[in-house]
Structure 1
Amino acid sequence: MEMSGLKFGTSGLRGLVVELDVGVCAAYTTAFLKHIAVLDGERSSGRLLVGYDLRASSPQIAMACIAAAKTFGMTIENCGPLPTPALALRAIALKAPAIMVTGSHIPADRNGLKFYRPDGEIDKADEAGILSFLGVERPPVEVPEHVEIVGHALEAYGARLDGLLGAGALQGWRIGVYQHSSVARDLLVDILTRAGAEVIALGRSDIFVPVDTEALRPEDIAFAEEASTMHRLDALVSTDGDADRPLIADENGHFLRGDTVGLITARFLGADAVVTPVTSNTATELCDMFKKVYRTKVGSPYVIEGMLSACNDDFQRVVGFEANGGVLLGSSLAISGGQLAALPTRDAILPILSVLGMAAKEDMTVSALRRTVPQRFTCSGRIEHVSTETSAPFLQRLLDVDQRRGFFAELGTILDCDNIDGIRVKLSNAEVIHYRASGNAPELRCYAEAASEQRSAQILQWGLRRAENLLRAKEIGHE
């Protein structure tokens, strides 16, 4: 079986839809269940939860996974179309494994599978375990035309979020929901309405729209600005396809960066420890609001690992977030007179409610709330067609103190450096430049941070040009 185009990245297995045929989906599902059986110490016939997003290929892929799981002897709970965090919440509550069929924000010709152990997201060791069972002989599967959808997962997720803000907390707010093809589009309207807001549903699409919260399309930016003016909105909110990454625009239609959203959410939730990848900007440390900030590699498995470390260090209110704005809750929190259960997977609606709730509580606009966060500006770029064999020596070279000093001399004096994920350098003027190899593609990525948007863009262009010149010199044999 040829599955070379499919690959585990920072968020599950991804590939072209044409590669995710019945046999391939059955192979990965069976391999996952065999791996789970090994973890459990025996091959048992338990329950498997399956959910999917709204892209056209997802229901068929979900049916293939269900068919393979039935052949394996599992009882199936088909959760239907729902946010990824809703499926995860249900799976953890039942202590059952789960598979979410989603390509998140990637184009409609691609899709993917996201696997959950009974205690949460799989990690890198689990990925290796799953791959070890691929190719092992397996029985043929018969794909059912229909499996009844059970709505318990979506109901429990909605109830959990309703408890975050009290009734009427958003009274007087006029909020637009950019629905497009988000699997949370109706749930968002319902939750915000129950919180007292006047909600205007906008931009609903029957065709999948690849909204990437970290790389917004020009049409998304224009849509937000026009909608905010036309409908006199206090905020515009949305998510990516599977609702694990938020999108929040202020009253002017200007989007908040994901790490700004994460920081405000952590503050709203009263976090004492925050866990975030090295690609989030340094406002998290500069705000001086948390007892400790843990930095990790890029990818939710690493954030989850960091949250476990924070809990082991006896922090009581542990919040994780990624630069895309997805928030992970590492510990259960007492909030609004109730309990918000831990959910160690990315969630989009939790940060949306937290940002709006914080603005309402402080009686300020979303743009004013954004200004309460230390103003740091970041941008990123990439050099394509750079293999690991090429990027590894480049990054290794920058580990040497003298080589690093010479490489960055034009930018200034190096204050600090870490190699958590690639090479991240902080200069004496607080500017940051960071190189890392992509986990999803043959690319070298560059990130820059400064006190202004213009300056961060200048650093980025310098960083890309400097790296490309060195990589090209190595290719032709010159230092």
Structure 2
Amino acid sequence: MKVFGSSGTRGVANEEVTPAFALDVAKAVGSVREEDRVAVGRDTRRTGRMLANAVASGLAAAGADVERLGVLPTPALQAYAADEGVPAIMVTASHNPPEYNGLKLVGPDGVELSVDALEAVEEALLGESFEPVPWDETGADRAVEGARDRYVDALVEAVDASRIAEAGLTVALDPGHGAGALTSPDFYRELGCRVVTTNAQPDGHFPGREPEPVEANLADLGRLVRASDADVGIAHDGDADRAIFYDETGSFVPGGASFAALADAELSEGDVAVSAVNVSQRLVDICESRGAELELTPIGSTQIMTRIRQLHAEGHSVPVAGEGNGGVIFPAYRITRDGAYTGARFLELLADADAPASEVLAPYDGYANVRVNVGYGSDAEREALLAAAEEYAAAADADVTTIDGYRLDYGDAWALARPSGTEPVVRVYAEAHDEARARELADGFADALRAAL
């Protein structure tokens, strides 16, 4: 797909993702899917209202009534879509920097559109094969109140609130000025937790930190955990579909470790877990110990959700899926990534264990992860980087997997280079049992790519 990447379409707002582009995407959606009603939501980004207005206009021009949900997390919009049986468009760039924005397309089941459905919309968009309806058939536009409250109420019902309340937990929360600032503090308080916050004011400039919940951006959360004597720290990205954790000592928890802990509690013999090609060895080990299968996909929530639905159609049990970036999916709840729900499931682990987070996570220690981005400025540079990755992989003393980029398995460690679906970079990942080894692998791969430029 040229337009819709690993999780929707994104770019610098008003340069790549313009109101005209958003208008055309919405007209393509309205023309291809022929829906009577479509919900529209947005995160806190400065350009969100501008693009949401364009989306609403495009949908109305295609004859769809537009239900404007305002600012809310992506999983809240997905919950509304599923409950109402209407498709939806979310204006968000998720974890990307503040200047970015984008569009994510959701079906009436509340799940991101499958690869096949996205390709149909993309074909109409690129071919400009959409026609406006007559003036007297254009759609209406109305504001919908209470979607955030409905979402929080449903979250409380979906987890064991009494068990969490009995544990008397203190949660340090960093929603990163994103949409989760409007829902997650209330949610965790309704679960009976004491909640302390940082970066909890909705602000599309993201003044306190960048939207991506990676360790380099989360120093404030680590300090807050220590200062407040919190049991756990939870951080979201811009649209709150991811959750990253800090333990009670104020130490960062790698996303692969928290994913493994959550998966370990879910998987049984004969189950299938779904993850992306950059999966941590932690999850590989958990699946082997549980007698579960592990299905790998190209990176991105769209690919993972598409595979989950395929496995369900084949009669397989898929209790957990996701990636080590904090985007965990519990299909029995919804086939969506939901940062607030994931956080609550981690609180259940703490409550069940009656032990600090560091002890709960200890079985999943012993791995180090490194990620390096190699940027490019043109299609020619992108192709040069990928050619260099192929050459490097061919010469490596490793098992090579090419499901998405080039993954090199060395036995004691692995490295992966693949182009981002949302930014003009080739990402290089590496994992090993010590950071020096992981850094060596990542830097070696990245240096080979840079040499091609």
TM superposition score normalised by structure 2 = 0.87
Contact 2:389 2:449 in 1 (8 A): no
Q: For residues 391 and 445 of structure 2, what CA distance do their matches in structure 1 show?
A: 15
The match for 2:275 is 276
How far did 1:154 drift? 4.4
Tell me if 1:300 matches 2:301: yes
Contact 2:96 2:212 in 1 (8 A): no
Tell me if 1:421 matches 2:416: no
How far did 1:282 drift? 1.0
The match for 1:80 is 70
Query: 3-state SS of the aligned residue for 2:347?
Result: helix
Task: Check 1:350–1:270 CA distance in 2 against 1; reply closer, same or farther (3 A cut).
Answer: farther
Contact 2:175 2:240 in 1 (8 A): no
User: CA RMSD of the aligned region, Å?
Assistant: 2.8
Contact 1:286 1:374 in 2 (8 A): no
The match for 1:29 is 26
The match for 1:200 is 196
Aligned positions of 1:305-454 closer than 5 A: 305-330=306-331, 332=332, 341=333, 343-373=334-364, 375-385=366-376, 387-397=381-391, 404=394, 407-409=395-397, 414=398, 416-428=399-411, 430-454=412-436
Query: 3-state SS of the aligned residue for 2:400?
Result: strand
Q: For residues 15 and 466 of structure 1, what CA distance do their matches in structure 2 show?
A: 27
Aligned positions of 1:127-146 closer than 5 A: 127-134=118-125, 135-136=128-129, 138-139=131-132
More RCO (CA 8 Å, sep 6+): 2
Task: Check 1:312–1:450 CA distance in 2 against 1; reply closer, same or farther (3 A cut).
Answer: same
Task: Check 1:425–1:72 CA distance in 2 against 1; reply closer, same or farther (3 A cut).
Answer: same
Tell me if 1:225 matches 2:213: no
Contact 1:225 1:253 in 2 (8 A): yes
Alignment equivalent of 2:160, drawn from 153, 162, 165? 165
Contact 1:273 1:317 in 2 (8 A): yes
Contact 1:158 1:187 in 2 (8 A): no
Letter in 2 for 1:425: L
How far did 1:147 drift? 4.1
How far did 1:372 drift? 1.8
Alignment equivalent of 1:66, drawn from 29, 35, 56? 56
Alignment equivalent of 1:51, drawn from 41, 44, 68? 41
Q: For residues 352 and 64 of structure 1, what CA distance do their matches in structure 2 show?
A: 34
Task: Check 1:113–1:7 CA distance in 2 against 1; reply closer, same or farther (3 A cut).
Answer: same
Q: For residues 281 and 27 of structure 2, what CA distance do their matches in structure 1 show?
A: 42
Task: Check 1:446–1:180 CA distance in 2 against 1; reply closer, same or farther (3 A cut).
Answer: closer
TM superposition score normalised by structure 1 = 0.82
Task: Check 1:51–1:94 CA distance in 2 against 1; reply closer, same or farther (3 A cut).
Answer: same
Task: Check 1:351–1:268 CA distance in 2 against 1; reply closer, same or farther (3 A cut).
Answer: farther
Query: 3-state SS of the aligned residue for 2:183?
Result: helix
Listed one character per residue, the Cα deviations across residues 234-257 of structure 1 (whole Å, up to 9, x for unaligned) are: 112121111111121111222222
Q: For residues 395 and 463 of structure 1, what CA distance do their matches in structure 2 show?
A: 8
Q: For residues 31 and 131 of structure 2, what CA distance do their matches in structure 1 show?
A: 11
Which structure: greater helix fraction? 2
Task: Check 1:350–1:378 CA distance in 2 against 1; reply closer, same or farther (3 A cut).
Answer: same
Contact 1:283 1:375 in 2 (8 A): no
Contact 1:433 1:459 in 2 (8 A): yes
Q: For residues 64 and 443 of structure 1, what CA distance do their matches in structure 2 show?
A: 28
The match for 1:477 is none
Q: Identical aligned pairs, as a percentage? A: 23
Unaligned runs of 5+ in 2: none
Task: Check 1:178–1:348 CA distance in 2 against 1; reply closer, same or farther (3 A cut).
Answer: same
Letter in 1 for 2:272: A
Q: For residues 346 and 163 of structure 1, what CA distance do their matches in structure 2 show?
A: 14
The match for 2:244 is 247
How far did 1:467 drift? 4.2
Letter in 2 for 1:307: I
Contact 1:174 1:233 in 2 (8 A): yes
Listed one character per residue, the Cα deviations across residues 104-139 of structure 1 (whole Å, up to 9, x for unaligned) are: 122222211111122421233333322332334655
How far did 1:260 drift? 2.1
Query: 3-state SS of the aligned residue for 2:245?
Result: strand
Listed one character per residue, the Cα deviations across residues 394-449 of structure 1 (whole Å, up to 9, x for unaligned) are: 444467xxxx3xx225xxxx3x3322112212223x21122223333443332111
- Of the two, which has the highest radius of gyration? 1
Tell me if 1:185 matches 2:181: yes
Task: Check 1:122–1:384 CA distance in 2 against 1; reply closer, same or farther (3 A cut).
Answer: same
Q: For residues 192 and 291 of structure 2, what CA distance do their matches in structure 1 show?
A: 31
Q: For residues 290 and 156 of structure 1, what CA distance do their matches in structure 2 show?
A: 35
Task: Check 1:150–1:296 CA distance in 2 against 1; reply closer, same or farther (3 A cut).
Answer: same
The match for 2:437 is 455
Query: 3-state SS of the aligned residue for 2:253?
Result: coil
How far did 1:462 drift? 2.1
